[in-house]
């Protein structure tokens, strides 16, 4: 069975539908392109540094990098307003940075230090920030979909006008509780946007090998949830779709599904040699569709920024990342007494 | 030949009910499917349908009669060719043959097990005896039993079902963040009628019927709790919570720790746990030990109505996830409950239900009723048993157990769950760790048997702990 599957994979390379050409992508002004560039670059550099530190043995366990997918979360954040919540799965570093959580706190959590966002007790997959409305960081594939629906339920219960962005991948999209959540969200018209980050591989299994319906924007059809496919490598397209989706949810019309067609450049986790795809495929995506490169080109060509000006941004970003790495390397481990704290809250 | 029409049992827990009214009168012709009468329990109103064709010859129990025992002949049906006026009941105490009278459940809901009554369950002392209505209160030390209740407090008698409902209603009145969700909790008034009246008082915003989607709505509840709401999530039974256990353990229990104390889940998961009656292996499992193994959870399993009320109120106010394990058989049982504006029972405190000096019986939930009956038996043989009702499984009140064992030197644990890695196993280990030198005999665990629950009445009875087993174990540890 496994052999047959592998064979099939070899003979029919992963045929993801061609990405939508985006000639009609809404335009960004200079300020938008600049901040998009800065934020995406921060995630890229942060993740590269994480990979490096993992290699040095400073980060343990599972570490899932977001490199290649930056436009999705940065573009979606542009479409939100203060109070809107974010919840995602285990590939969460980018989401935290986009929510404004401090790079040093994230990095120190990756290294398991006391200055980490979860005091070193959560790790790569488990970080949270009430202040930034980031609800994790969840390691069980698909669990965040019910949880995010519950956060949206709370918004609806309180009538506070907030929307919960609930991210999950093409792999999680096949979990049962996703559909249980879709049903309730539409039944109760909950303000939730389901952002399916289709990076084409659920760990090592390509979308074609795992999904009977590979158009994820249609996964809500039987619940009458509208959906659209979005070029997740073009931040302008992400932003425009995000605005439509968030507006739909906020106005009381219920959930909305966005399939973000994106791509991760690195393996599923640090220990994944990614033999299930060709080098060419990865190279092609990087060269032709890189989300950061697209913005960079616009900054140079349309907005006439100089290479030096971009370099200045780059070095600022590097500074933040290096400072975070420095902190995460030297911050002490949690005090042993922390072993027995934060298990239960004191009842009053 | 005349056929007896018997008072039907509508649920496993029903022992008696009210004959509300007859819809046919003496002399009426009756054909199968005709509704003969309506009967009521505290939980539901049901119709009694005719199975046979004939004439309603005699009505033996009139409209509005309360406390009609299950299987009591309520009328006589004369079959064709028989003189209705001469028809007499053949055997007044005949057991109800299956299908003789067919209650018509108004729903096919999974949790409603409209089977025979709970008569003859593990709680009796001999195979043929019927369980007496619980007269537990009188047999225990008023001082210990009512330690949380100010002296002179007026007591009102109510069922566990009503006590749970009142606890939720009181907390919902106090805190607008509290809401109830689950299958059939609103319009249907609860599969076991525990949420009766809540929809009427609090409306559909706060009393929410969910689709049959345990995994999904458990996650929705936890997500809502992350934001500071205080959901009460009802599982129609904890057997169905197996579908949702990932959200209970991985999301509800662990997030506070994983977030370094930032994000907790103040949520109550509640519903009937353990065996009901004759509902087979998939609907008869005690999950106390399972949940009690997990740090980050509190696990509560009350026996009496007062504890059910006081502990549920504490659970709703608790900032942590609480697994609140109820028992279907106990729902309909009545206990005195203090009439206080705000009666709570602290989580994590066991109660000495009955003082004794020779042997300690530790139990919880319905197991306490077995222990109480066993103590009465033991009394006759000159053995004085102390009964500890754990009330909370996690955090376990080790102090109370250890103090008692130091006094008696002997201990028997009683639970309906499986023996391996059960609550009794945990209690034994704690006694060894903290009171080994005080033990005069090894601890004996009385548990459900190490088998999936069988359906057959005799096998089910064997699978559950019995009073006789407890008595025997208590005598064994006393070397008698």
- pLDDT 10s digits, B416-439: 999 999 999 999 999 999 999 999
Structural domains in chain B, sorted by start: 2-78 (2.40.50.100), 155-338 (3.40.50.970), 351-478 (3.40.50.920)
User: Which candidate, B229, B299, B310, B304, places its Cα nearest to that of B270?
Assistant: B299
Are B251 and A345 within 8 A, CB to CB? no
For the segment B441-461, the average pLDDT, to the nearest whole number, is: 97
Return the residue in A126, A141, A145, A147 with the most chain B beta carbons within 10 A, the one to mutate for interface testing: A147
State the Cα angle at A162 between A158 and A167, rounded to 5°.
Answer: 120
CA dihedral B465, B467, B473, B478 (to 10 degrees): 160
pLDDT of residue B71: 87
Nearest to A153 among B224, B247, B298 (CB): B224
Put simply, whether B222 touches A (Cβ < 8 Å) is: yes
> Considering B114, B162, B214, B328, which one is annotated as catalytic?
B214
pLDDT tens column, B211-222: 999 999 999 999
Record the pTM.
Answer: 0.86
Nearest to A177 among B216, B255, B259 (CB): B216
User: Residue B105 and residue B205: Cα distance in Å, rounded?
Assistant: 28
Contacts of B171 in chain A (CB under 8 A): none
User: Which candidate, B87, B62, B82, B84, places its Cα nearest to that of B72?
Assistant: B62
Report yes or no: A98 and A39 within 8 Å, Cβ to Cβ.
yes
User: Residue B343 and residue B216: Cα distance in Å, rounded?
Assistant: 33
For the segment A205-219, the average pLDDT, to the nearest whole number, is: 95
Q: Is the pLDDT of residue B125 over 60?
A: no
Q: How far is A192 from chain B (nearest CA, A)?
A: 12
Report yes or no: A123 and A112 within 8 Å, Cβ to Cβ.
yes
Contacts of A180 in chain B (CB under 8 A): 211, 213, 215-217
Contacts of B317 in chain A (CB under 8 A): 347-348
Does the N-terminal peptide bond of residue B395 adopt cis geometry, omega within 30 degrees of 0? yes
Terminal-to-terminal C-alpha distance of chain A: 57
Nearest to A343 among B224, B225, B256 (CB): B256
Residues 6 or more apart whose Cβ sits within 8 Å of residue B97: none
pLDDT of residue B147: 62
Report yes or no: B14 and B70 within 8 Å, Cβ to Cβ.
yes
Backbone angles phi, psi at B31, to 5 degrees: -125, 160
Q: Is the pLDDT of residue B118 over 60?
A: no
> Considering B47, B283, B328, B386, which one is annotated as catalytic?
B283
Q: Is the pLDDT of residue B120 over 60?
A: no
Report yes or no: B422 and B447 within 8 Å, Cβ to Cβ.
yes
Are A135 and B223 within 8 A, CB to CB? yes
Contacts of B318 in chain A (CB under 8 A): 347
Residues 6 or more apart whose Cβ sits within 8 Å of residue B158: B166, B305, B334, B335, B337
Task: Determine whether B82 is an active site residue.
Answer: no
Q: How far is A257 from chain B (nearest CA, A)?
A: 18
Nearest to B220 among A130, A140, A153 (CB): A153
Q: Is the pLDDT of residue A93 over 80?
A: yes
Are B262 and A145 within 8 A, CB to CB? no
- B20 to A61, A234, B33: CA distances (angstroms): 66, 70, 19
Q: Is the pLDDT of residue B452 over 70?
A: yes
pLDDT tens column, A114-167: 999 999 999 999 999 999 999 999 999 999 999 999 999 999 999 999 999 999
Report yes or no: B88 and B44 within 8 Å, Cβ to Cβ.
no
Are B258 and A126 within 8 A, CB to CB? yes
How do beta strands B444-446 and B359-363 pair? unpaired
CB-count burial class (<10 Å; 0-12, 13-18, 19+) for B54: buried
User: Residue A120 and residue B78: Cα distance in Å, rounded?
Assistant: 79
pLDDT of residue B218: 98
Put simply, whether B320 touches A (Cβ < 8 Å) is: yes
Residues 6 or more apart whose Cβ sits within 8 Å of residue A204: A268, A272, A274, A275, A276
Look over chain A and give the mean of its residue pLDDT values, rounded to a whole number: 92
Return the residue in B218, B219, B314 with the most chain A beta carbons within 10 A, the one to mutate for interface testing: B219
pLDDT tens column, A15-67: 444 444 445 678 999 999 999 999 999 999 999 999 999 999 999 999 999 99
Put simply, whether B219 touches A (Cβ < 8 Å) is: yes
CA torsion sign for B144, B146, B152, B158 is: negative
User: Residue B396 and residue B170: Cα distance in Å, rounded?
Assistant: 27
User: In which band, very low, low, confident or very high, does the pLDDT at B146 lie, cut at 50, 70 and 90?
Assistant: low
CB-count burial class (<10 Å; 0-12, 13-18, 19+) for A218: middle
Are A347 and B347 within 8 A, CB to CB? yes
Task: Determine whether B353 is an active site residue.
Answer: no
Tokens 């064997």 found at: B462
User: Residue B318 and residue B312: Cα distance in Å, rounded?
Assistant: 10
Nearest to B257 among A129, A139, A343 (CB): A343
CB-count burial class (<10 Å; 0-12, 13-18, 19+) for B42: middle
User: Which candidate, A204, A136, A200, places its Cα nearest to that of A173?
Assistant: A200
For the segment B119-140, the average pLDDT, to the nearest whole number, is: 41
User: Residue B51 and residue B77: Cα distance in Å, rounded?
Assistant: 10
Contacts of B347 in chain A (CB under 8 A): 347
Report yes or no: B155 and B336 within 8 Å, Cβ to Cβ.
yes
Contacts of B258 in chain A (CB under 8 A): 118, 121-123, 126, 128, 136-137
pLDDT tens column, B347-389: 999 999 999 999 999 999 999 999 999 999 999 999 999 999 9
Write out the H or E segment, with its range, that includes residue A308. helix A307-330
Report yes or no: A154 and B222 within 8 Å, Cβ to Cβ.
no
Helix, strand or coil, per DSSP, at residue B453: coil
List helix spans (H) across B123-240: 142-145, 160-174, 198-202, 214-226
In DSSP terms, which residues pair with B18 in a beta bridge?
A: B40
- B48 to A4, B62, B192: CA distances (angstroms): 60, 14, 19
Q: Is the pLDDT of residue B321 over 50?
A: yes
pLDDT of residue A23: 52
Q: How many CB atoms lie within 10 A of CB B252?
A: 31
Put simply, whether B221 touches A (Cβ < 8 Å) is: yes
User: Residue B329 and residue B337: Cα distance in Å, rounded?
Assistant: 18
User: Residue A135 and residue A23: Cα distance in Å, rounded?
Assistant: 35
CA torsion sign for A300, A305, A311, A317 is: negative
Q: How far is B263 from chain A (nearest CA, A)?
A: 7
In DSSP terms, which residues pair with B54 in a beta bridge?
A: B30
pLDDT of residue B141: 38
User: Residue A277 and residue A265: Cα distance in Å, rounded?
Assistant: 11
At the topology level, CATH places domain A30-178+190-234+251-327 in Rossmann fold (3.40.50)
Residues 6 or more apart whose Cβ sits within 8 Å of residue B360: B385, B386, B387, B388, B401, B404, B405, B407, B408, B410, B411, B412
Higher-confidence residue of A215 and B125: namely A215
Return the residue in A117, A142, A150, A159 with the most chain B beta carbons within 10 A, the one to mutate for interface testing: A150
Helix, strand or coil, per DSSP, at residue A63: coil
Domain boundaries, chain A: 30-178+190-234+251-327
Report yes or no: B42 and B332 within 8 Å, Cβ to Cβ.
yes
Put simply, whether B342 touches A (Cβ < 8 Å) is: no
């Amino acid at each position: 069975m496994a052999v047959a599957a592998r064979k099939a994979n070899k003979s029919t390379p992963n045929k993801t539908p061609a990405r939508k050409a985006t000639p009609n992508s809404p335009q960004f002004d200079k300020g938008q392109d600049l901040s998009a560039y800065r934020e995406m670059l921060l995630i890229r550099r942060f993740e590269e540094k994480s990979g490096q530190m993992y290699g040095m043995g400073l980060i343990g366990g599972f570490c899932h990098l977001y490199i290649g997918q930056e436009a999705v979360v940065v573009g979606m954040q542009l479409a939100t307003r203060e109070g809107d919540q974010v919840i995602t799965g285990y590939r969460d570093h980018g989401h935290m940075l986009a929510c404004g959580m401090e790079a040093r706190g994230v990095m120190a959590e990756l290294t398991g230090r006391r200055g980490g966002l979860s005091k070193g007790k959560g790790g790569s997959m488990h970080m949270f920030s009430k202040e930034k409305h980031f609800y994790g960081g969840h390691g069980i594939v698909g669990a965040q979909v019910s949880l995010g629906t519950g956060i949206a339920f709370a918004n609806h219960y309180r009538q506070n006008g907030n929307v919960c962005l609930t991210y999950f991948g093409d792999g999680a999209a096949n979990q049962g509780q996703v559909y249980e959540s879709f049903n309730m969200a539409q039944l109760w018209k909950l303000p939730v946007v389901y952002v399916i980050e289709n990076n084409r591989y659920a760990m090592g299994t390509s979308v074609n090998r795992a999904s009977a319906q590979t158009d994820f924007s249609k996964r809500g059809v039987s619940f009458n949830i509208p959906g659209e496919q979005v070029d997740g490598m073009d931040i302008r397209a992400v932003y425009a779709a995000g605005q439509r989706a968030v507006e739909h949810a906020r106005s009381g019309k219920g959930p909305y599904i966005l399939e973000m067609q994106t791509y991760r450049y690195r393996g599923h986790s640090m220990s994944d040699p990614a033999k299930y795809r060709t080098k060419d495929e990865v190279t092609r995506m990087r060269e032709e569709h890189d989300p950061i490169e697209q913005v960079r080109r616009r900054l140079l060509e349309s907005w006439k920024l100089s290479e030096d000006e971009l370099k200045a941004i780059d070095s600022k970003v590097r500074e933040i990342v290096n400072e975070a790495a420095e902190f995460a390397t030297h911050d002490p481990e949690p005090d042993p007494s922390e072993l027995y704290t934060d298990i239960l809250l004191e009842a009053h | 030949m005349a056929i007896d029409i018997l008072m039907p049992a509508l649920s496993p827990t029903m022992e008696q009910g009210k004959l509300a009214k007859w819809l046919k009168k003496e002399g009426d012709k009756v054909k199968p499917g005709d509704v003969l009468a309506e009967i009521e329990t505290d939980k539901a109103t049901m119709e009694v349908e005719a199975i046979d064709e004939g004439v309603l010859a005699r009505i033996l129990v009139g409209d509005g009669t309360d406390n009609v025992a299950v299987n009591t002949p309520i009328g006589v049906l004369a079959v064709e060719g028989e003189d209705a006026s001469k028809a007499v009941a053949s055997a007044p105490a005949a057991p109800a043959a299956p299908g003789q009278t067919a209650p018509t459940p108004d729903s096919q809901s999974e949790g409603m097990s409209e089977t025979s009554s709970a008569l003859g369950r593990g709680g009796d002392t001999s195979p043929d005896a019927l369980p007496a209505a619980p007269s537990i209160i009188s047999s225990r030390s008023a001082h210990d039993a009512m330690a949380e209740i100010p002296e002179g407090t007026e007591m009102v008698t109510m069922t566990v079902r009503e006590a749970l409902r009142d606890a939720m209603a009181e907390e919902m009145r106090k805190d607008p963040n509290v809401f109830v969700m689950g299958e059939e909790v609103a319009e249907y008034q609860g599969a076991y009628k525990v949420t009766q009246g809540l929809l009427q008082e609090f409306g559909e915003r706060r009393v929410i019927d969910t689709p049959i989607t345990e995994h999904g709505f458990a996650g929705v509840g936890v997500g809502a709790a992350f934001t500071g709401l205080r959901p009460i999530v009802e599982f129609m039974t904890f057997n169905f919570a197996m579908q949702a256990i990932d959200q209970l353990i991985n999301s509800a229990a662990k997030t506070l720790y994983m977030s370094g104390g930032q994000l907790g889940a103040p949520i109550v998961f509640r519903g009937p746990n353990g065996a009901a009656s004759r509902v087979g292996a998939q609907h008869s499992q005690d999950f106390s030990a399972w949940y009690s193994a997990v740090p980050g959870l509190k696990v509560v399993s009350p026996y009496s109505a007062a504890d059910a009320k006081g502990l549920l109120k504490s659970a709703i106010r608790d900032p942590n996830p609480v697994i609140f394990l109820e028992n279907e058989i106990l729902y309909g049982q009545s206990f005195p409950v203090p009439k206080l504006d705000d009666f709570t029972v602290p989580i994590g405190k066991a109660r000495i239900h009955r003082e004794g000096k020779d042997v300690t019986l530790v139990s919880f939930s319905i197991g306490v009723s077995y222990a109480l009956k066993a103590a009465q038996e033991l009394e006759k043989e000159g053995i004085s048993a102390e009964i500890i009702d754990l009330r909370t499984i996690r955090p376990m009140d080790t102090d109370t157990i250890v103090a008692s064992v130091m006094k008696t030197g002997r201990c028997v644990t009683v639970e309906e769950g499986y023996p391996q890695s059960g609550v009794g196993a945990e209690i034994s280990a704690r006694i060894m760790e903290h009171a080994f030198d005080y033990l005069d005999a090894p601890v004996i665990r009385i548990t459900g048997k190490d088998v999936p629950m069988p359906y057959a009445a005799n096998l089910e009875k064997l699978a559950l702990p019995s009073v006789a087993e407890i008595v025997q174990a208590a005598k064994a540890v006393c070397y008698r």
